[in-house]
Amino acid sequence: MKTIVACSLLCAGAALVAAEVDDDKQAAMPTPLAEIHERGVEGRLGARLGTIVTVAGTVVPNTSNRKEDLSAPYFLSIESVDGRELDEPVLYRFEAHRRTKVEPPQIDDRFSYAAYETGEFAGAPEGLWNYMRGYATTGYQFETRLFVLPARE
């Protein structure tokens, strides 16, 4: 009887471990593109990418040491989105949509802009240097950007 109970417990434990391994494999599986099209992607501001929102906050000086931030003299420190206060401010470069003209702000200005987040994969995927000469870049990752829009006409 003890052998049967021990075997049952051992088999149940093995099944549980196998289920955990399957869960880990499933968590590591990429998200199908069809699912992204259907569900969308939530941006850093808490809204679906491509959704026009109103962002408000303060323009702050660039104190970043990141190479990709060197050319930005300041950042938009976004404190609220559509009137909802964020837990932590989110920093974005000021970038007007390329087909519009929006007057750039100055450091310490308060702002309220219509804007939307967008994103893309950028950088060098693993194994790229097996096919070409290497260059300074970041790892392959998803990056978001904020496009500021002009006031409604």
* Of 25-34, 63-72, 111-120, 124-133, minimum mean pLDDT range: 63-72
Structural domain boundaries of the chain?
43-149
Mean pLDDT of the chain: 84
Q: What is the pLDDT of residues 116-132, one digit of tens each?
A: 999 999 889 999 999 99
**Per-residue three-class SS string for the chain:** CHHHHHHHHHHHHHHHHHHHHHHHHHHHCCCCHHHHHHHCCECCCCCECCCCEEEEEEEEECCCCCHHHCCCCEEEEEEEECCEEEEEEEEECCCECCCCCCCCCCCCCEEEEEEEEEEEEECECCCHHHCCCCCCCCECEEEEEEEEECCCC
Verdict on whether the full-model pTM lies above 0.95 = no
Q: What is the pLDDT of residues 13-22, one digit of tens each?
A: 444 445 555 5
pLDDT number for residue 153:
65
d(CA 142, CA 136): 17
Neighbour tally for 78: CB within 10 Å = 23
d(CA 3, CA 8): 8
Q: What is the pLDDT of residues 29-48, one digit of tens each?
A: 999 999 999 999 999 999 99
